[in-house]
Chain A
Amino acid sequence: MSTLEVSPVEPLSGQSGHSVVNDFSIQVATVNGSGSQTANTVLMRAIFQMGIPVSGKNMFPSNIAGLPTWFTLRASKHGYIGRRKEIDFLVAMNPETAREDVMKLDSGAAVVYDEPLKLSDLRSDLHFYPVPFDKLVAPVCPEAKLRKLVRNMIYDGVVARLLDVEMEEVHKALVKQFGKRKAKAAELNWGAAQAGFEYASKTFTKSDPYRVERMNATAGKIIIDGNSACALGAMFAGVTVVTWYPITPSSSLVESLIGYMKRFRHDPETGKATYAIVQAEDELASIGMAIGAGWAGARSMTATAGPGISLMSEFIGLGYYAEVPAVIFDVERVGPSTGLPTRTQQGDLLSTALLSHGDTKHPMFFPCSPEECFSMAIDAFNFAEQFQTPVFIMTDLDLGMNNWMADPFQYPETPIKRGKVLTAEDLDKLGGFQRYKDLDGDGVGYRTLPGTSHPKAAYFTRGSGHNEKAQYTEREDDYINNMDRLAHKFEVMRQYVPAPVVDLNPRASIGLIAFGTSDYAVRESCDQLKDEYDVEASYLRLKAYPFTEQMLDFIRRHDRVYVVEQNRDAQLLGLMRLELDPELIAKLRSVRYYGGLPLDARTVTDEVVRQEGK
């Protein structure tokens, strides 16, 4: 990589006076399995390294190779990192979708395309930049079989030239992407990027208005996907038993965790692991193992997606009723059934809240960012042990699998909290204990771990009816007392779940409620409502279920409250209906999107405006 020769370049000639700086979106249309992900990540990183807020969304098929894939990159000087519907700059590499992709563009957009596709005749209101990719790749990649993978890096060079992305940053991003071990691959790709850059310099007169300009808005920030952030959170939470079954889009969460644990959780002297990670035979086994481990005192977790959640239903009921801690990461994808495995949705909310037969309810945390994936993972392990129950961290494919800008994670300030666990010494003092007796008024009993060397330590754990002493019972009063205590425990949780983020606008008569990745669209939508329609809105972002008093207060303060969510059936609104007073329910309106792409602000704005009658 010693061939870096990048000198400052003049903008391409022909640029019109009108320009759009750091506020546009790029879409790259490729075929999956063609190495485009590397080219896309490098482009995103290069813009990020120039200090410009950027987000990347990968829309990929449930397939290994050969189907269409789109990557959308948004640069926003305002810091909006939600998906933007409108595409300003298209890179059309996929013959199958190129025509449709071009026809969808708004007038004035720019198109870089593979020359043989002959797209420029399709429309006269776009800026076309044809590139002969095959001709350019041959000289920079002598080995024919690698050309398919290197070819895409050429568009990084072309786009860099057309948008004023600094090649030095492209180079840095490439080196980072490939690491030291793949220096040869990096070299090859760098050659391709340069070829694209030089071709564009020689050939094109820039006619579109889009370009980037260095800012200082990303200093100190990191780029990470939500799944890796959850994995890091779990590691710093002190997870000890991880059991899982591969399923998109959660697999990379555990794979990332395996990578980190191998590096940081082995005894430096003996090489032995302070954790166990087991790929189970199915989701029934993975949740069963997590519950068995939680029962025996481990900090245990599993990660899954909707179909796995459905399969885990029976064991989750056991975890709830027998009161066993475990943390379940649900990286949501589009259901029902197999659904759209590689598209995003918030579709598991209702089924997870009430997962399993009988009266059950479960706490759920809703991270919206990598920072929260990290911190909430740590919180969730403490919470699961504090309340001795399964806890769900509800993320989604958008958060989990896409790369996000984030602030560096904060090291946990408080020590690990293991909850109410009695040791042999405690039992000596107490003379005994009753597993399910509510001594402290919080609905949470004391437990002992198997293996505790004391004649009073043992109790029998079961999913069948049990009394305070954990003995089998079918008595009406025992059953009701136990179920009422569990309900009380759930009430107590309201004081301990992460509190919502409330942005009260004193002039607003309407409010918006959202959670998770809807946050980006909703925040941008609040600005759109104000700037474009003169509608003032307050905003509450939920961070957890059960709901807290802050949410009720928020609804009381507003005339109408729009509940924004990414599913068809207004699942969050449905959960709110289950427990809110009728006068509060009457204020609720629903804004839903369920097409499987990350939610965009325009969709929210349009629907609020429509319902407001503006």
Chain B
Amino acid sequence: MSTGTTMAPPPPKKVNRIGLEVLSYKGSKTTLCAGCGHNAISERIVECFYELGIEPYSVAKFSGIGCSSKSPAYFLGLAHGFNAVHGRMPAIATGAILANRHLMGLGVTGDGDTASIGLGQFMHLVRRNMPMIYIIEDNGVYGLTKGQFSATADVGSKLKTGTPNDLPPFDCCALALKWGATFVARSFSGDKKQLQAILKTAIAHQGLSVIDVVSPCVTFNDHEGSTKSYSYMKEHDSVLHELNFIPSYEDITVEIPEGEVRDVEMHDGSHLRIRKLHRDYDPTDRLSALGVLEEAEKKGEVLTGVLYVNTSKPTFLELLKLADEPLATLPESRVRPPQIVLDEVMEELR
């Protein structure tokens, strides 16, 4: 009986709690290799920011140089991004966040960028507890220059040519733990659920979040003999605990999973819900975090999960006693002292 001229209204577009579609969180099309772990991480970033309803304009993306550092073009296209120079993203990010403390800093870097040329800047970022998210897309190899070892490559791991690595790796999580980061986690690009929970917690965290994500390079470091390959990770990933993130706007009492559960409350009232798996682990204890990393290294395991959370240490911005408003846009009346001040100083110098 219908003439068929009136189409059914399109289904309502799916939007998040601030009314934005997932499209608003996407970036341009990736130019990385198909199957690259970095692409999976970009997808998790899109999902997490969308699901938590973070305004994309409030985010500032930072990266250095390398495959990983290209990826900020592939997510959060409505956020400003700054692709800096090799290894020096922390400086750019620090300056930008000092200029505008309301920005949510999201840094994406690689193991070459962070653990070699950028090790100094990384450590100083950690030392300052600069409030931002710092994701290391860790594949143990330089991709853009076609497959040289990075400083996170494990001893004995082999290049495609068969050349073994004979220098010990830097463990970026251990470095971050020891020198001042307040949220430290390791994950695997292939573990969607764990990475989501970690990313969401990092978004809620007010301090420096260092997330080392093992992210295999399908072109130069996914072969037999590599310790950063998909197959190696599947065999050696030792998951520390099961993680769930409960945002502040959701009811914390629902869906309590079976087993021993511990909640860590974040600054914004959200919770990281941790369910014990094989061992007791307290992620607020820095010493035990360093201990489990040592232990895992000895066993040849890659320990993933939230290694450390500290919600009480002041950030660098707090230490600087910065004004509440962004410095960048303070009006002239607040940044240029009046004539009387100049007169006073001149009088002192006479």
Contacts and interface: CB of A to CB of B under 8 A. Distances in A.
B81 A296 contact: no
Contacts of A462: 82-83
A293 to B, nearest CB: 4
Interface in B273-288: none
A294 B350 CA distance: 35
A587 interface: no
A461 B83 contact: yes
A607 interface: no
B257 interface: no
Nearest to B102: A451
B342 A409 contact: yes
Nearest to A236: B336
Nearest to A221: B350
A296 B335 contact: no
Nearest to A410: B342
Contact of B94 (A289, A454, A463): A289
B95 A451 contact: no
A601 to B, nearest CB: 27
B335 A240 contact: yes
Given A296-B96, A450-B80, A451-B57, A284 B88 contact: yes
B128 to A, nearest CB: 8
B99 A318 contact: no
Contact of B103 (A278, A296, A448): A296
A236 B58 contact: no
B30 interface: no
B85 A278 contact: no
Given A240-B328, A411-B342, A289 B80 contact: no
A533 to B, nearest CB: 39
Interface residues of B, number: 56
A93 interface: no
A408 interface: yes
B77 A238 contact: no
B300 interface: no
Contacts of A454: 57
Contact of B328 (A273, A286, A298, A464): A298
B57 to A, nearest CB: 5
B91 A284 contact: yes
Residue with the highest number of chain A CB atoms closer than 10 Å, among B77, B79, B93, B345: B345
B166 to A, nearest CB: 29
Interface in B32-79: 55-58, 60, 72-73, 77-79
A296 B95 contact: yes
Contacts of B238: none
Contact of A298 (B85, B98, B121): B98
Contacts of B96: 292-293, 295-296, 450
B329 A297 contact: yes
B311 interface: no
A243 interface: yes
A459 interface: yes
B160 interface: no
Given A284-B91, A451-B326, A289 B336 contact: no
Nearest to A297: B328
Interface stretch (B135-143, B201-209, B258-266, B316-324): B316-324
A287 B88 CA distance: 10
A460 B69 CA distance: 12
The residue in B60, B99, B330 that gathers the most chain A C-beta atoms within 10 A of its C-beta is: B99
B327 A451 contact: no
Contact of B100 (A222, A267, A296): A296
B100 A276 contact: no
B342 A463 contact: no
Contacts of A264: 337, 341
Q: Name the interface size band of chain A.
A: 35 or more
A289 B124 contact: no
B349 A222 contact: yes
Contacts of B85: 288, 314-315, 318, 463
B274 to A, nearest CB: 33
A546 to B, nearest CB: 26
B332 interface: yes
Given A288-B91, A298-B327, A416-B332, A451 B100 contact: yes
A506 interface: no
B327 A274 contact: yes
Contacts of A178: none
A281 B327 contact: no
A240 B98 CA distance: 9
Contacts of B92: 288-289, 291-292, 295
A223 B347 CA distance: 10
A433 to B, nearest CB: 13
Interface centre among B55, B56, B85, B95, by most chain A C-beta atoms within 10 angstroms, is B95
Given A272-B321, A411-B342, A241 B91 contact: no
A271 B330 CA distance: 16
A282 B124 CA distance: 10
Contact of B329 (A285, A291, A449): A449
B88 A295 contact: no
Contacts of A284: 88, 91, 121
Given A236-B336, A274-B330, A461-B81, A450 B324 contact: no
B136 to A, nearest CB: 18
A447 to B, nearest CB: 10
Nearest to A220: B350
A280 B128 CA distance: 10
A300 interface: yes
A449 B328 contact: yes
A240 B99 contact: yes
A236 B342 contact: yes
B84 interface: yes
A311 to B, nearest CB: 11
Contacts of B322: 272-273, 276
Q: Which are the 5 A-B pairs with shortest beta-carbon distances?
A: A288-B91, A292-B95, A297-B328, A298-B99, A450-B80
6 contacts: A280-B124, A292-B84, A292-B99, A296-B96, A416-B335, A460-B73
